[in-house]
Structure formats: C-alpha cells, structure tokens
Amino acid sequence: MIHMDVDKFVKKEILAMGGGSLTRSMPPMPPNAINLLAGDPDFNQPEFISKAVYDAMREGYTHYAFGGDPAFKTAIADYYGKYGVEVDPAKQVLITSGGSQAIFRAFGTILNPGDEVLLMDPCYTGYSQPAAYFGAKIIRAAQSKDEKRLFRPDFENIEAAITEKTKAVLICSPDNPTGAVWTEAEIGRLAEIAVEKDVLVISDEIYTEFIWDGKHVPIIDKPGMEERTMVLMSFSKTFAWTGCRAGYIIAGPQLMEKINQVPIGITGMPLPFQKAATKALAEGWDFVDSMREAYKRRIDAVVPRLNEIDGVSCPMPEGAFYVFPDVSSFGVPSMPLLLGLLKGGEVLVAPGSLYGPKGEGHVRLALVKPVDVLEEAVDRLGKYFSGLKG
C-alpha cells in the first residue's frame, strides 16, 4: 500500500464530525448481561406480514417503483387520517428507509452550513450526526420537569433559542427518551411560535401508537403549519420492523416537492416491503395491540420497582417504551455509570448524557425484554446502586 492522505478528499463536514461512536468505545458485553440499550422491540413478525413480502416477490413486485407504490402511499395517508389530518398521498407522502433516513432527508432538504436546528434537551441522539453532516449548528432548548417529574418543553427557552439562522425546531412526541407526550396546549403553542418566528417544525412521531396517558396531537394540522411541518414516521416501532427499514415523511405539497429532490436513491423501501407494509396498515392492528399491552405491563412492573431503589426517581412515561430514571443522587456521571453498571451490574443501559446536557444524571432503559428479564435487570441496578450508596 502506498501511503496517502485520505482526509484530503473527504467532505469537510465529515472531518469535523470526527470518528468514533458509543459502540466502538464500549467494553465487551459480559455473557449474562441484559441489554436494554437499543430501542429494538423484542417481537417477531406475525406470519401474515412475512407472507405478504413473499407473495409480493412471487407476484413479480420486484421491479422499479419510481416514487414508491401509490397504493402504499394511499394507505399511509389513510392511516394518518385517523388524527383528523387530510393527506394527499400523491403529493404529501415520501417513503424512506426507516426513521433514520427520514431524519437525514428532512435535514438534507433544508440545511446549509451555518444554519441552526433547535433540539429539545434532552432528546433522542440520532439527530446530531445528520445535523453535523450538513454543517448545521445544533442549539438546545433545556426542558423543565413537571410535577410528575417528566421533562416538558419550556417555551421561554424555545423562544429565546430561535435566531435568524434557525431553520427548524425538532420535536419528538411521544418523546424518546423522556416519555412525555406533548399536550394540545404545548403543540398549539409551538405552532404559534413557528409561525411567528417563521421557522419549520420537524415532528418525529414514530411512537404515536404507544401512548399511555394523553393523546397524539399532530402539529401539521395547526393553523399555518401544513407547509411548515415535516412529519417523520417509521414502521420500526409501530410494527417492530427495525430490521426492515421502513419509514415515511408527510409534509405540505410545496415542501414535499423539495424533500423529494434529495437524491438519496430510487425509493426508500424495496417494493415487496411496501406491499407488506400496506397489508400491515390494513391488518396489523391486533399485533400492535398485543405489543402495546406487553409494553404497558412492562412499564407497570418496572417503574414502581425502580422507585423502590434508594436514590432512584423514575416518572411514569406518558408514551413510548423507555424509562428515564433520575439517578443523579449517586453523583456519578452517566457515562462512567453506564460502564460500571455493565461491568458490575451486568445491565446495559444508555447514559443520559447521550441525550444532551439535561439528560446527565439519568439513564435510559429500553423495555424491550419480557417482564421477568426487566425485573431481574432492575434488581441488578438496585444491587449496584446500593453498593454505590454504601
């Protein structure tokens, strides 16, 4: 090999991102460790969905479908209609390779270097890399805890953080990791701010099927918001399809024309999966119900048990399937805490600092294991934490 400087050729925003990732810096998993790191539902596909993919392939749906399958887009528009929103399938729906690509495409439609994107603090970690890739600056609006100990949007912080350079405010409701579901009043307030300050809203709504308290309020439906909103959706959580990479964006027709122009590839999903996903939207709700019930049982089992641990304070999530307990009383930063928990407690959780400065002092547990495994995990946490106190 001739030595050469690859960096010379690399897009400067990538060089600025630096290398490395959480996964790379992780120590090896102890053999008996319980992995609650990723939000990967532990449910397998019902037979009819697997069969639908097979059937589509046998029926010859393996050829180009430029712009996506119209029947699938119609099914998506109909589905979103349950929130009272009228969506034109031909002009307002774009199919993506999962929620992660929906984020990339949304950012890729609007961001030039120097632009700003406003995120809540704490918030899901997957927004940072795409923003950095496009050279945008991330600004964070610190959230405040309510009387239920849930992080909620702080509109003073949000208004103060919007500048001339802000292209969009990104929200996630139901929220990962905090578990908050934005209320009608909160969604309404943010829409007013967006119109008044003339910014877009990127609305990550991938957990809408998992709400325990409250209801989903679509911001795209608020006055003046249709051409100002990009709704990011995914089948990964709704139908436990994380490995099947299926998602979509809903936006106003004018905005969608631009979103469509990001030339990521011919279509976001293989056509057989578009066919199967159409079927899932028609017939998959028993499966979703069963997952919903399982998550609820897990939350009900885990939250009280966590609160029994001296020094841990865990609110009931209003939505999604994570718990985000406050463990700040132990005085250990969440990253070393994660490593200690993994080695000493044999439980892998996500460190709160991953979600922003306000996430520090918390850990996130993805409830993607059966109740008995989750109970065992909480017991291990309790044991490890009692060692810290002692």
Q: Does 2 bind a second copy (CB under 8 A)?
A: yes
Q: How far is the CB of 313 from a second copy (least distance, A)?
A: 30
Cβ atoms of 95 and 72 closer than 8 Å: yes
Burial of 188 by CB count in 10 Å (0-12 exposed, 13-18 middle, 19+ buried)?
middle
Query: Buried b vs exposed e over 40-73: b needs ≥16 C-beta within 10 Å?
Result: ebebebbeebeebbeebeeeebeeebeebbeebb
Q: Does 73 bind a second copy (CB under 8 A)?
A: no
150 DSSP assignment: -
Q: How far is the CB of 177 from a second copy (least distance, A)?
A: 17
Verify cis geometry, omega within 30 degrees of 0, for the bond prior to 315.
no
Q: At 345, which helix (H) or strand (E)? A: none
From 25, 27, 28, 66, residue interacting with a second copy (rule: CB under 8 A): 66
Question: The tokens of 270 are what?
Answer: 């293989």
Complex with a second copy: residue 111 or 303, whichever CB lies closer: 111
Complex with a second copy: residue 143 or 176, whichever CB lies closer: 176
Which stretches of the chain are assigned E, i.e. beta strand? 34-35, 93-96, 116-121, 137-142, 144-145, 151-152, 166-172, 200-204, 229-234, 247-251, 322-323, 347-348, 350-351, 363-366
Q: Write phi, then psi, for 142 (nearest 5 degrees).
A: -60, 135
User: Which listed range, 128-136, 203-211, 329-337, 340-348, lies at the site for a second copy (CB under 8 A)?
Assistant: 128-136
Complex with a second copy: residue 104 or 151, whichever CB lies closer: 104
From 143, 173, 267, 353, residue interacting with a second copy (rule: CB under 8 A): 267
Window 146 to 175, contacts with a second copy (CB under 8 A):
167-168
Q: How far is the CB of 340 from a second copy (least distance, A)?
A: 24
N-term to C-term CA, the chain: 56
Q: Does 71 bind a second copy (CB under 8 A)?
A: no
Q: Does 64 bind a second copy (CB under 8 A)?
A: yes
Question: The tokens of 248 are what?
Answer: 């979509």
Complex with a second copy: residue 178 or 234, whichever CB lies closer: 234
From 75, 76, 94, 109, residue interacting with a second copy (rule: CB under 8 A): 109
Cα 116 to Cα 35: distance, rounded to the nearest angstrom: 35
Q: Write 141-147 long-range contacts (CB < 8 A, 24+).
A: 142/357, 142/358, 143/178, 143/358
Reported as half-sphere exposure (CB side, CA atoms, 13 A), residue 4 has a value of 6
User: Which listed range, 80-88, 240-248, 328-336, 357-365, lies at the site for a second copy (CB under 8 A)?
Assistant: 240-248
Q: How far is the CB of 141 from a second copy (least distance, A)?
A: 19
User: Which listed range, 86-94, 248-256, 303-311, 349-357, lies at the site for a second copy (CB under 8 A)?
Assistant: 248-256
From 143, 229, 242, 278, residue interacting with a second copy (rule: CB under 8 A): 242
Q: How far is the CB of 190 from a second copy (least distance, A)?
A: 16
Q: How far is the CB of 231 from a second copy (least distance, A)?
A: 16
Residue whose tokens read 């990964």 = 236
Q: How far is the CB of 337 from a second copy (least distance, A)?
A: 23
Question: What's the CA angle centered on 32, arms 30 and 34, to 5 degrees?
Answer: 95
Complex with a second copy: residue 131 or 323, whichever CB lies closer: 131
Q: Does 245 bind a second copy (CB under 8 A)?
A: yes
Question: What's the CA angle centered on 191, arms 187 and 192, to 5 degrees?
Answer: 120
341 DSSP assignment: I
Interface mask toward a second copy for 268-307; x: CB under 8 A = xxxxxx----------------------------------
Window 4 to 63, contacts with a second copy (CB under 8 A):
4, 6-14, 17, 19, 23, 38, 40-41, 44-45, 47, 49-51, 53-54, 57-58, 60-63
Q: Does 200 bind a second copy (CB under 8 A)?
A: yes
